[in-house]
Structure 1
């Protein structure tokens, strides 16, 4: 009887299946980073847009693109030339026949209107047309356009023999008109004029001609414009 019980126990242990190991757990992969949207950018303007007298890499629009690289802002297409007034820029845009649409458009124009003694009223009318052109380049979206104010060249080394107070007064008048036109059309306005006035006694802020601005200074313009551009792109 004892042998039978022992045999039964042996049979019972022999038939017991070993416990299977739990299935290995797969390590979850980190979520893929979303691709950065490529933001096409067009810069319109005059000598301050193309950074007269400094390397192209120092131009404020290119500095803006570098600062906004993580936002997808691309190196800008540029329509600008030293000496252009509002009317001359508009004519150049028509001649260029650029049919592209951009995600971001900037405008900086007016100093040559003031320098040549043109009336503020003329500037206002021509600027309104330019702003409407910029909006068309932005696909009809005024919320993708921003304008930089006119630098106060009256505080530059170049202007030492000019009537600096008169220049400053007129620049204020032109900028006031520009700000009003931007507001009416829903275009963002970026004041960099105060930065140019603060640079008056620092030679490192100017290009060799003493009239235009160094890359060091234009970096401040780009930094001033960057949060505005980011807001527009949201």
Structure 2
């Protein structure tokens, strides 16, 4: 009897100590590019990313995407960070900044806001490894992109902000996926632009996701 109880105890211990697969809670922060302006919900790149990760046996759920079209870093701070914190996430992506440039926010203000956002996100995540930043795409190549230039060079302006994103993320050991160059292909293929003539199409988001996926997978596998 004692021997049977001992064997049962060993079995129970082995079962409870066996590592269980973790389900990651994912929050996507950003603007129109993250909320997928002009495409169906399941065609947004964060949704494509989750589906792809799940297909590779990564248990992950997109629990919140508070991103909105037109939002700047200041909007993200005021309206998205509270959602992020209340969601108790353990993985996040960040793609923000295009509207800062459109609205003429200074590079100094953008840098300060971006660093603040990074710091606030990192307070909630287990480590910097669980945050993935994405650079700002070059919308100047789209048919309506020039309407937002106001006499400025879109490519040059976005490149300055992207340099800040890469620099500040490097300081904090945060991975960055650079989609700037690949986004310029929208100028050569109208199928990569959605019907509004400004935002990426579902096909373009698929291209972005293919760049983002391997970095995210490496963090979560």
TM-score (normalizing by structure 2) = 0.84
Q: CA deviation at 1:194?
A: 1.1
After superposition, what is the alpha-carbon deviation per residue over 1:99-124, rounded to whole angstroms, capped at 9, x for unaligned? 23222100000000000111111101
Aligned partners of 2:215 and 2:84: how far apart in 1? 28
Kept in 1, the 8 Å contact 2:101–2:158? The answer is yes
Give the conservation status (yes or no) of the 8 Å contact 1:62–1:76: no
Runs of at least 5 residues in structure 2 that lack an aligned partner in the other structure = 1-18
- C-alpha distance in 2, partners of 1:79/1:97? 8
Looking at structure 1, the residues matched to 197 and 112 of structure 2 have their Cα atoms a distance apart, in angstroms, of 31
Change in CA separation of 1:76 and 1:61 when aligned onto 2, cut-off 3 Å: farther
Q: Does 1:175 align with 2:159?
A: no
Q: 1:97 to 1:215 in 2, by over 3 A?
A: closer
**Unmatched runs of 5 consecutive residues or more in structure 1:** 1-33
Query: Deviations along 1:44-67, whole A, 9 cap, x unmatched?
Result: 010110010111111100000011
Task: Give the structure 2 partner of residue 155 of structure 1.
Answer: 141
> Does structure 1 residue 225 correspond to structure 2 residue 218?
no
Q: Number of aligned pairs? A: 201
For the residues of structure 1 that align with 2:195 and 2:63, how far apart are their CA atoms?
Answer: 25
Distance 1:87 1:134, change over 3 A: same
Runs of 4+ in 1 over 4 A off after TM superposition: 160-165
- When normalised by structure 1's length, the TM-score is 0.80
Shift of residue 158, structure 1, vs aligned partner: 1.0
Q: Which has the higher helix share?
A: 2
Shift of 1:77: 1.3
